[in-house]
Chain A
Amino acid sequence: MIEVAGLKKKFKLTKDHKKNKIDDIDPREDKDYFHSVRDVSFSCAKGEVLGLLGPNGAGKTTTLRMISTALKPDEGSITIAGNDIVKKPLLGRKSIGFLSGSTGLYGRLTVKENIEYFAKLHGMSKNDIASRCDELFTLLDMHKFIDKRAENLSTGMKQKANIARAVVHRPAVVVLDEPTTGLDIMTTQTVIQFIKGLKAQGTPVIFSTHHLDEVALLCDRVAVINEGVSCFDGTVEEFKQAGNSEELNQAFMNILTEKHDV
């Protein structure tokens, strides 16, 4: 179970940004700061998949970066199985597997070396690394290319390697930031199957996306962020009700418009 409560994060505006600032265009900007995330809360229980939705610039990536401990929240808490990972980031990093559409691999290392490297950094033993790698290579059908350098892989192969890298340490929670952006249909299917597999294992998954068909296919819950503030958190059915539409796209638009009008 992961619980996110009252997250806030602001970034100092650069001189260039201040210089080119157009007054009152974004309510999140004040004199010196851009308040990227102003108040975000949601939760995701064991075996649930939560879709994090929001327009571009809503604060989704900043939120996911805070959950993955890359960024430290200014306020709020993130707890995994009762442990506050804001206070104990190293514990958080052990518990979380993170993957985004732009995540890279070390091109001059082979796929196997890449995954083993991250497993070692997670403190796994030699035997454990060998058995876990073999398990993942079979699960993701990677045996054919594990000795190839990452720089020579196709996009699909790279994403499979990235998935293996993200979960090699058996994380308690998996966080995915637009994991299918820019991928072809085949590779997208690999990611979708991977998420389904995690769900079947009981691992909570939080993923941000702009594709609502993926939400319909995978998600148990939906959280919507707009202008850095949570404007919905509930089940998919509740999402449809709140948005007054059976169509997820329409429901999403309605929720955003309603919140904006308020």
Chain B
Amino acid sequence: MFEVFKKELRELLRDKKTLLFVVALPVAIFPLLFAVMAFISSQAAMDAEQKVNTYAIINGEYAQEFTDKVFYHKSFELYKGAKTFNNIEELKAGVIAGDIDMGIYLPSHAEQTLDSGEQSQWQVVFNDSKSINFLFERVKELAKEYSDVLQTQKLISFGIEESVQKSILNPIEVIKVDTADKRENLGEKIGGFLPYLLIPLVLMGATYPAIDLGAGEKERGTLETLLLTPITRTELVLGKFITLLTTSIASTTITVLSMGCWIALALAFADLDFIKAAFSTLAVTDLLMIFVLLLPVAAIFSALALAISIYARTFKEAQNYMAPLSMGVFFPIIISIMPNMELTAKTAFIPVTNVALAIKEIVKGTVDYTFVGLIFLATAIIAAGLLAFCVKWFNREDVLFR
């Protein structure tokens, strides 16, 4: 068994593709990808923030104070072109044609409506399909400022002094007194994200080498010679399984360490208090506990990937079979972030979901250690079951010689 493990590991370490998936990708490509994504999204947000939008307003004279606020706002510029806009349809056409970025339509009887105590409805025409769009929020903010002024004036005209208006308009204010400490709050935010990163990594570290160890052996014509050596199928499966477990855990560890280095590097150059606070709450024992919980998950994935791979006739067929497994792994993680989903005696038995929930609780610092033990045991039993299935699978002629 140990000879099989040694040989498989040696071969994998000499495979450029495996090194790419297990080492290069986690070390450089993932952090680089995240950095590029962060850069692009921050750039897009900055562009949207700094962009000056052209607008046209209809019936602006009926709310002059608001019209002036829009006019003097640094992000808005009044349309000075040849086109004229007289109704809402013309504003829509102007936005679609790209003549203006935004049209504001005030009803012509705005003043009278307000005087008669009715609500006045203003329309803002713009293209809301862009994901980062500050237009509507800015206009809404200006309108609210104007609305507050009108509200105050109106109430004063009814004889209600400004000093008592607050108690009439908002007689009760509910103030949140949060018992969750800083760690719990941060844990809730990043604790749900961590399984999304770690669990698929554990799977990826097992699937690619598994294809080589199972279907790859068939395709190269080495499986038959291996089956004719005087080692039992159990030893053969265990040798291959331990190889996959090693690559899976190694890949995850390398990724986490690499990300840690990149984050440390980022913190050295930028003042990222949120990230600093988030990671300072995690102790070494927490990380170790997460690592220990991921071990049986890696075992489950290794056994599954090996069983799938040995069933496939070719490398390509194995890749096709692995695709649903790669997608399927996200479902139990999604379950773990569903509302009201908590780590209980019941959820501790749902494979993968239980580990995702436990990671979240560990990061929050609220984990019940009994559950950690229970999850480890439950996941390890499933992994052992799958490994036994794998051994049985390797003994089937219709699987090996399809």
Contacts and interface: CB of A to CB of B under 8 A. Distances in A.
B401 A109 contact: no
B83 interface: no
A71 B7 CA distance: 25
B11 A105 contact: no
Contacts of B10: 108-109, 113
Contacts of B232: 90
B228 interface: yes
A103 B397 contact: no
B397 A118 contact: no
B229 interface: yes
A123 interface: yes
Interface residues of A, number: 32
Interface stretch (B25-33, B218-226, B359-367, B376-384): B218-226
A57 interface: no
B118 interface: no
Contacts of A107: 220
A100 B10 CA distance: 26
Nearest to A177: B224
A165 B225 CA distance: 9
A76 to B, nearest CB: 16
Nearest to A94: B230
Contact of B397 (A68, A71, A96, A122): A71
B15 A108 contact: yes
B225 A103 contact: yes
B14 interface: yes
Contacts of A103: 221-222, 224-225
Contact of A68 (B3, B11, B228): B228
Contacts of B401: 65, 70-71
Interface residues of B, number: 23
Contacts of B128: none
A108 B12 CA distance: 8
Given A118-B225, A121-B229, A123-B230, A109 B398 contact: no
Contacts of A12: 398
A117 B7 contact: yes
A117 B3 contact: yes
B227 interface: yes
A69 B228 contact: yes
B221 A102 contact: yes
A104 B14 CA distance: 18
B231 interface: yes
B222 A118 contact: no
A178 B402 CA distance: 20
Contact of A105 (B14, B222, B227, B398): B222
B23 to A, nearest CB: 16
A121 B230 contact: yes
A165 B398 CA distance: 26
Nearest to A123: B230
A96 B224 contact: no
Given A71-B397, A72-B397, A120-B3, A100 B230 contact: no
A121 B227 CA distance: 11
Interface string B200-231: 00000000000000000000111011111111
A96 B230 CA distance: 10
Contacts of B224: 65, 70, 98, 100, 103
B228 A70 contact: yes
Contact of A109 (B11, B226, B229): B11
B7 A106 contact: yes
In the A-B complex, list the 6 residue pairs whose CB atoms are closest, starting with the nearest.
Answer: A104-B221, A121-B229, A104-B220, A108-B14, A93-B230, A104-B222
28 contacts: A11-B398, A12-B398, A68-B228, A70-B224, A70-B401, A90-B232, A91-B230, A93-B230, A94-B230, A103-B221, A103-B222, A103-B224, A104-B221, A104-B222, A104-B225, A105-B222, A106-B11, A106-B222, A107-B220, A108-B10, A109-B10, A109-B11, A113-B7, A117-B3, A121-B3, A121-B4, A121-B230, A122-B230
Interface of B: 3-4, 7, 10-11, 14-15, 220-222, 224-232, 397-398, 400-401
Given A72-B397, A123-B230, 18 more contacts: A65-B401, A69-B228, A70-B224, A70-B228, A70-B400, A71-B401, A98-B224, A100-B221, A103-B222, A104-B221, A108-B11, A109-B11, A109-B14, A113-B10, A117-B7, A121-B230, A122-B229, A165-B225
